[in-house]
A and B are shown apart, each in its own frame.
Chain A
């Protein structure tokens, strides 16, 4: 999607105006509501990503059997709810939206994976899946996230390497030039 800050702010202002009048954007204009929903998903993704280390820590402790299922569910749900509240505040705060820089390069939606884990706790309670299934899914999400982070670090390392190579090449050329200068002076 092409992110437009101007359009994003327009939609937020419109939604808030309607809310102040006791109305709702979805009921008044479903098309605009759907468009705003996409922007909100981008914001949500960014906020969840900033809290990723906390989610990773919980997932790792669960996978390493330091936390049992109940402890993991409690800690994860609390963190999930706290992050969701932060998103709810963010999406109506025009000052924050003004500073907002979305990252559209991630190949997957982190927040969606987290939401999936959260929703599975109820599935366990309803006996549609087991604690083992949840653990397997958490493992999948954790590994995927770690591989993605590793890729990011590798990409960053490659950038530094390319920069160093370029610097080295430039320095070498400079050295050759200096040597030639000396030779010409000797002659």
Chain B
């Protein structure tokens, strides 16, 4: 099998002697190499694989470039041979690396027939043993994960050649890299007097802020949930005041924290993950929906309710339950007498059943299962007042 390797027009001198160095591994696969009229001809054994051919041909191509460089071949003081115009503009032959056995994906081999590059990316991180993929797809996945040896070596070799060419022409490659590095981002002059980290820190209205009157030490000692219950310095908190019922307070940061998971329970828009985007507008919309809850029909106030009552996490609460939608809003009773918004969600049927039968004690499903708090007997929960005021 013969393959011609020639990329650039070259003014060869017939049968000039040319030295070509091949590694032992490559030598084993090459039957003969000859150099004629600016072309290198390699005769390669038929039995070798396409990967080895690629290495061999790449090596031969690189040597061809190195040895065929006119600058190196022409002795100093000899009259230069001027190429004719037709030779200079002659189009380079385009049959380089024409493999008959080039890797292709057979579209009929498996369930995954063809995977577009953008869809391949998530598959890189999957455990391939779990996937029903064909051999070709598997190869592509492995290639994406680590790359194949032949192409990596070829890229390194070409990079090396380019670097040598740059050096030979007097260009400092590292100076270019340094220049590129400067384009990556802003650099700071050592003489710049301000703290850069403070200048470039993003500040948004959604970030939790320390109240200005509170000492830093006291703020640092608070847990995340305690910090969310601090008054909002931007005045986005809300409150509910209904005659004959206790006042309820809603802290903005706590509402914002609950927005993604429970925005949909209040009819807010949701993304493709079923969550309400955590934006200021959505947090305020949830706050307004909660404030409006007492105005809805069929709302029940459990002023002596509980959250996870009967468990170590149990706490006294004021609970508002919407009978039409099954949505609850929980306000935790604080030692200072205030009632702070804790959470809101749509109850499961078992949770609803338990809430109504136990004077507004909202116990989550998992705990109900563990405690078997609700009897499966249909008659058990009938004779109660369900916590109605």
Given contacts A33-B386, A41-B353, A77-B274, 14 further A-B contacts (CB under 8 A): A1-B376, A24-B298, A26-B323, A26-B356, A30-B388, A33-B356, A34-B357, A34-B386, A112-B350, A112-B368, A112-B369, A115-B365, A119-B348, A126-B225
Report how many residues on chain B are interfacial, defined by Cβ distance under 8 Å: 42
Contact indicator A34/B348 (Cβ below 8 Å): no
Contact A116 B366 (CB under 8 A): yes
Instruction: Report whether B365 and A26 are in contact in the complex, using a CB–CB cutoff of 8 Å.
Output: no
CB interface residues, B 330-389, toward A, < 8 Å? 343, 345-346, 348-353, 356-357, 364-366, 368-369, 376-378, 381-386, 388
Q: A84 contacts which chain B residues (CB < 8 A)? A: 346
Q: Is the CB of A38 within 8 A of B313?
A: no
Q: In the complex, what residues of A have CB within 8 A of residue B349's CB?
A: 37, 40-41, 44
A contact residues around B352 at 8 Å (CB): 37
B368 / chain A contacts, CB cutoff of 8 Å: 112
Q: In the complex, are the beta carbons of A22 and B297 less than 8 A apart?
A: yes
B210 interfacial by beta-carbon distance below 8 Å: no
Assuming the contacts A81-B274, A120-B366, A122-B343, asked whether A34 and B356 have C-beta atoms less than 8 A apart, the reply is yes
A-B contact pairs, 23 of them (CB 8 A): A23-B298, A24-B324, A26-B300, A27-B298, A30-B384, A30-B385, A31-B383, A34-B353, A34-B356, A34-B382, A38-B353, A44-B349, A65-B127, A66-B127, A74-B275, A109-B369, A112-B350, A115-B350, A116-B364, A119-B364, A123-B366, A127-B224, A128-B313
Contacting pair B388 A27 (CB below 8 A): yes
The answer, yes or no, to whether B169 is at the interface (CB within 8 Å) is no
Asked whether any CB of chain A lies closer than 8 Å to the CB of B264, the reply is yes
Q: Which residues of A contact B (CB under 8 A)?
A: 1-2, 19, 22-24, 26-27, 30-31, 33-35, 37-38, 40-41, 44, 64-66, 74, 77-78, 81, 84, 109, 111-113, 115-116, 118-123, 125-128, 137
Chain B residues within 8 Å of A137, by CB: 366
Q: Which residue of B lies closest to A1 (CB)?
A: B378
Chain A's nearest CB lies how many Å from the CB of B217? 23
Q: Does the CB pair B126–A1 fall under 8 Å?
A: no
Residue of B nearest to A122 (CB): B261
User: What residues of A have a CB within 8 angstroms of the CB of B345 in the complex?
Assistant: 122
Residues of A within 8 A of B84 (CB): none
The one of B273, B357, B386 that contacts A74, using a Cβ cutoff of 8 Å: B273
Complex contacts, A121 vs chain B, CB 8 Å = 261
Look across to chain B and name the residue whose beta carbon is closest to the beta carbon of A3.
B378
Most buried by B among A22, A23, A33, A120: A33
| Chain B residue, CB-CB nearest to A79 | B274
A131: min CB distance to chain B, Å: 15
What's the Cα separation between A34 and B381 when bound, in Å?
A: 7
